[in-house]
Amino acid sequence: MSGGFVAIGVGLLAVLLVGYFGQRHLPPPKPTFIGLDLGTTFSCVGAYHPVSGNVTIFLTDQGSQCIPSVIAILPDNGTVLVGKAALNQAPAIPSANLIYDAKRFIGRSFQQTSDEDFQLIKDRYPFTIRLTPDRSRAFFEVVLSNGTSIFFSPEDVGAYILHYLRTTATNCLGRPVSRAVLSVPAEFDQVQRNATKKAAAKAGLDVWRVIQEPTAAAMAYGLHEEEGIQMVLVVDLGGGTLDVSLLNRQGGIFLTAAIAGNSYLGGQDFTHRLLNHILEKSNLTIEGNGNTTETEISDQVVLTSETSSEANTVPSPHLRSIDQATLQKLRLLADQVKIDLTDQEFIHIKMEMPVELDLNITKQTFNQINEDLFQKVLRPIEVVLEEVSLEREDVDEIVLVGGSTRVPRVREVIGEYFDRDLSNPPKVDPELAVATGVSVQAGILGGMWPLQVSAVEIPMKVRKIHVL
Ligand SMILES: *[C@@H]1O[C@H](CO)[C@@H](O)[C@H](O)[C@H]1NC(C)=O
Ligand SMILES: *[C@@H]1O[C@H](CO)[C@@H](O)[C@H](O)[C@H]1NC(C)=O
Ligand SMILES: *[C@@H]1O[C@H](CO)[C@@H](O)[C@H](O)[C@H]1NC(C)=O
Ligand SMILES: *[C@@H]1O[C@H](CO)[C@@H](O)[C@H](O)[C@H]1NC(C)=O
Ligand SMILES: *[C@@H]1O[C@H](CO)[C@@H](O)[C@H](O)[C@H]1NC(C)=O
């Protein structure tokens, strides 16, 4: 009898050993699911690798992991370009042919929106936004050079971006992939989730699960596995949006306890302030615009009238006028300076062409001109804590995501509020955190060894509180 058990035991051990060495020496299986982060300003795609347990965010053929969530429609033949390729066309095509921010419109009804409010929304964008007769959907109209109009729904725009990302994943993995996990903002209702899924279906993707962006971010940090974590605050500060979510973890399950946000606060605003500062210090003015508010938009920067009071003083006789193309170059420069100031104390800008510039910008100046915006980041945080009657100390973990949380002063402001040190460089690239978490979820769905823990979230009907 016992001899029989021993034989079975040895047989089992042999099978396990073969499996173990097989797993080590055979090439690891390739991911069968991909994780997609369709963001308002940037989008990316990744996958979880079995065996190593690493997540890769794929490098696109545009040379970066994230692509701008933008499409351009060429006026001559209606060809659609995506991402950087689209932005590169910006100087050559009418600004109405560049569509961005489509995610703000996906699955969104305007039946409760007054004509005046809809006009305000339209005024933010250089492209043409129209409504269906019943006002239940928005869509975009682009007029080609021959006078023909073509129409794009927000889902169509999403589909172009997702299709490009799917192609990227296919190229990087060396075989076609279509099974996907998709992230959506926490406040998306069923209609918006469905619309996002529709965009994915149009891109040839088979969506197995949709998870909320804050949950994905928490998973990127492994918080679904970590002991003793109950309340997680996720602060997502992107290019143009701020979303704050409070997650309550119960076992492997994340519940959304409260969400608040500011739909128009993000890195673009910091860049805009810096651009105005550079223009002011260099006595530059925008051609045809005098010194008044700029409204031209040729990239994703929505320019507002937040010029500082100094800009409104009597124009100096030394003012030099610059055209839109130069403005666009300076905007890119300002954006780069903002990024470089993350780990440098000052940046020396010297430029001969297309306009002469010579000035130093210190981190201190950058912080000063943006301090009021940085302080605004705290408002939705306060609202969320109030909403569930929690004290600052009750928050177990603070997760900072979105490229703009790289700004040291932003980390400092939030750290001061919670009396914690958040200045250390993040473990996970804040710009890739959502994509990383979605990819981990994709790995869980794919049942890939050695991932055993599953994290689920229960979609909740939590109303987002908008804060200005
Ligand atoms: C996984 O990531 C680690 C740390 O980033 C790296 O050292 C290792 O080479 C990666 N493994 C694979 C198989 O890519
Ligand atoms: C205009 O150009 C588009 C794209 O080349 C083409 O599909 C369409 O038929 C043209 N319309 C007219 C009226 O020529
Ligand atoms: C569309 O027009 C652009 C130039 O406007 C050209 O480079 C491109 O090859 C054209 N594409 C097609 C499919 O005709
Ligand atoms: C969302 O899509 C599902 C499946 O297609 C459908 O059953 C459900 O009614 C849709 N919900 C809404 C609110 O559109
Ligand atoms: C910028 O700073 C450098 C180093 O401190 C200094 O040499 C240079 O003169 C400064 N330039 C301007 C325009 O202030």
Q: Is 465 exposed, middle or buried (0-12, 13-18, 19+ CB in 10 A)?
A: middle
Question: Ligand 3 in contact with 85 (CB < 6 A)?
Answer: no
Residues 454, 441: Cα–Cα separation, whole Å: 8
Q: Whose CA is nearest to atom 5 of ligand 1?
A: 54
Q: Is the pLDDT of residue 206 over 80?
A: yes
Kindly state if the Cβ of 144 falls inside 6 Å of ligand 3.
no
158 domain-assigned: yes
Position 91 scores a pLDDT of 82
Residue among 278, 360, 361 to mutate when testing ligand 5 (max atoms within 8 A of CB)? 360
CA of 367 to the centre of ligand 5 (A): 19
Q: Which residues pair with 320 in a beta bridge?
A: 284
**Tens-place pLDDT, residues 147-182:** 999 999 999 999 999 999 999 999 999 999 999 999
C-beta 77 within 6 A of ligand 3: yes
Which of 364, 383, 401 marks a domain boundary?
A: 364
**Cβ pair 70, 98 in contact under 8 A:** yes
Cα 385 to Cα 395: distance, rounded to the nearest angstrom: 9
Looking at the structure, do residues 71 and 216 belong to the same domain, yes or no? yes
Please check whether residue 415 lies inside any domain of the structure. no
Q: Is 136 in the pocket of ligand 4 (CB under 6 A)?
A: no
Q: Are residues 244 and 296 in the same domain?
A: no
Beta carbons within 8 Å of 110's beta carbon, 6+ residues apart:
118, 131, 135, 136, 137, 138
pLDDT of 391 > 90? The answer is yes
Percent of the chain past pLDDT 90, that is, above it, reads 67
Residue 211 in domain: yes
Q: What is the DSSP string of 335-401?
A: HHHHHHTTT-SEEEEEE-SSS-EEEEEEHHHHHHHHHHHHHHTHHHHHHHHHHTT--GGG--EEEEE
- 279 and 191 together in one domain: no
For residue 75, give the ligand 3 atom closest to its CA. 5
User: 250 and 307 share a domain?
Assistant: no
Looking at the structure, tell me whether residues 327 and 459 fall in a common domain.
no
Choose the final residue of a domain: 364, 382, 412: 364
Average pLDDT, the chain: 86
Tell me: do 224 and 296 sit in the same domain: no
Nearest bound ligand to the CA of residue 188: 4
Q: How far is the CA of 426 from the centre of ligand 5 (A)?
A: 32
Of ligand 3's listed atoms, the one at least distance from the Cα of 77 is: 1
Q: 256 and 203 in one domain?
A: yes
Domain that holds residue 243: 33-263+425-466
Closest ligand 4 atom, CA of 190?
13
Shared-domain flag, residues 244 and 308: no
Number of domains in the chain: 2
| Pair 59, 203 in one domain | yes
Q: pLDDT tens for residues 89-114? A: 988 899 999 999 999 999 999 999 99
Is residue 392 included in any domain, yes or no? no
pLDDT of residue 224: 85
Ligand 2 atom 4 nearest Cα: 77
Return the pLDDT at 448.
Answer: 59
Residues 124 and 56 in one domain: yes
Q: Does the beta carbon of 76 sit less than 6 angstroms from any atom of ligand 3?
A: yes
Q: Looking at the domain assignment, is residue 38 inside a domain?
A: yes
For the chain, how big is the Rg over CA atoms in Å?
A: 24
- State the first-to-last Cα distance of the chain, in angstroms, to the nearest integer: 76
Q: Is residue 2 part of a domain?
A: no
Q: Which residues are the active-site residues?
A: 37, 103, 213, 236
Q: How far is the CA of 410 from the centre of ligand 1 (A)?
A: 30
pTM metric for this prediction: 0.84
Indicate whether 455 pLDDT > 60.
no
Amino acid at 376: K
Instruction: Examine the pLDDT at 308 and tell me if it is beyond 60.
Output: no
- 219-275 pLDDT, tens digit each: 999 888 888 899 999 999 998 899 999 999 988 788 899 999 998 899 999 999 999
